[in-house]
A and B are shown apart, each in its own frame.
Chain A
């Protein structure tokens, strides 16, 4: 049977953390609304990013007919299966549109020629509709892949080889739709926090950020599941491959961060530099922390081949990346919502950790709903031999 990720005590602790987050959010909406709604957007982007990143990774592995990951697939599926939680958080963001997004203030729009020109897109009803459409599309992709994967369980009817073949086709189509919809979603949810500003590489940068955080979370979750003996099939070679992907995406994230920064710095045009100008002063520390934690620390930790096979090293690097993602999202969102720098120390962390506690709880629930490994997966033998 599948014992899942958490025992009763861990579940109780996570529920407490989630309750604290919820209380902090409710109290914060009265005491410091701008900061608190910003914190909610950070938490929503983080959690949706984890699910969407895992889903994209899953689809890529299916599309590439990768064999090595067969023993890890249920963990990735369970991460993608937290999309309803992300949808709930995004629904709260939509409810708080007026508190979060400057463009939702009609009087501000009317006085501003630039925003007037963007009004057809930056519209509260359209924002809500588009948000729902992105999440529905992604959940549809997840549900299809999950159903095909469940056909590979022991005792389920249907041909497991045909299911693998169909999953490949579904993934190939889904990846195209996902790439386009995720680009629009990151413009809607995150870039429009600074409605005057634009950057064509921003969706890429957000996608790789989400994929990187999903890989890091997968490392941590898989290591814990392995320690509990639930995913005993996972060997050092599987961790090595997860580590290689994490290492590569960390470097790629830094590459994209720098691509965006270099071009803006070089051309030095006010409409582009506004983004970084607003992120100086009190935000510099968080900006540096995000680069340090998402790139420099994991690069140093994971460079030797043996490090990627070590549970401790891999988890440490993954933890750094997840903290770096939080700092990165905070620096992206907060200066556009709350003009004063507060760092991550207050309500931001409480709301984020509350949301992440819920993420782990939902992950555990989805993961338990199926056997930890699909025993009739045609790639399973290859994956077992890989470890």
Chain B
């Protein structure tokens, strides 16, 4: 990706950036990514993003946590160290449920976050993308990677659609 020219437009609010993203998509410009201070409702659809597969990863981790917790408790309380607690049965007991529930939630939560970090390549060592343009403050950015020669037309298009400024940058990484 290094050396790719980026055209980055900046907007002042979520509504205007959303409208611009929709207009750009309708006009056939493919937006590379949006950088906003908070999640903007409807931006996924405006960028034409596929639904994330993170939900499926989450389900996988949850099922792993559930079966792991039930299996381990079952093994402990039936085979490894059976204990008679008030005559209650060793297996298939409601007492297994709280641990299974908590481990399901824990595995699903941590696993999903870890998956996200790994697949987005996020770590403290990573250099922020588009640093200093205010995307973590109060500016709403759309980044495009236009084909050579299309930059000028794109810039004019973005300014026409409410961008306060548009700049050309070298892509990070």
Contacts and interface: CB of A to CB of B under 8 A. Distances in A.
Q: Do A and B come from one complex?
A: yes
Interface of A: 237, 258, 261-262, 265-266, 268, 305, 385-386
A272 to B, nearest CB: 14
Interface of B: 15, 41, 51, 55, 86, 94-95, 97-98
Contact of A258 (B51, B55, B97): B97
A265 B89 CA distance: 12
Contact of B94 (A237, A261, A386): A261
A265 B87 CA distance: 12
Contact of A305 (B15, B51, B86, B97): B51
B94 A305 contact: no
Contacts of A265: 94
Contacts of B97: 258, 262
Contacts of A268: 86
Given A305-B51, A305-B55, A386-B41, A258 B86 contact: no
Nearest to B51: A305
A386 B15 CA distance: 12
Nearest to B41: A386
Question: Residue among B86, B94, B98 with the most chain A CB within 10 A?
Answer: B94
Given A268-B86, A386-B41, A262 B55 contact: no
A266 B94 CA distance: 9
Nearest to B93: A265
Contact of A262 (B15, B41, B86, B98): B98
A305 B50 CA distance: 13
B55 A266 contact: no
Nearest to A266: B95
Given A262-B94, A262-B95, A266-B94, 13 more contacts: A237-B41, A258-B94, A258-B97, A261-B94, A262-B97, A262-B98, A265-B94, A266-B95, A268-B86, A305-B51, A305-B55, A385-B15, A386-B41
Nearest to A303: B59
A68 to B, nearest CB: 10
A258 B96 CA distance: 12
Contacts of B94: 258, 261-262, 265-266
Contacts of A266: 94-95
Contacts of A305: 51, 55
A286 B42 CA distance: 43
A226 to B, nearest CB: 20
16 contacts: A237-B41, A258-B94, A258-B97, A261-B94, A262-B94, A262-B95, A262-B97, A262-B98, A265-B94, A266-B94, A266-B95, A268-B86, A305-B51, A305-B55, A385-B15, A386-B41
A41 B95 CA distance: 34
A354 B139 CA distance: 57
A266 B95 CA distance: 8
Nearest to B86: A268
B132 to A, nearest CB: 31
Contacts of B86: 268
B30 to A, nearest CB: 24
A265 B94 CA distance: 8
Nearest to B52: A305
Contacts of B95: 262, 266
A237 B55 CA distance: 18
Nearest to A68: B41
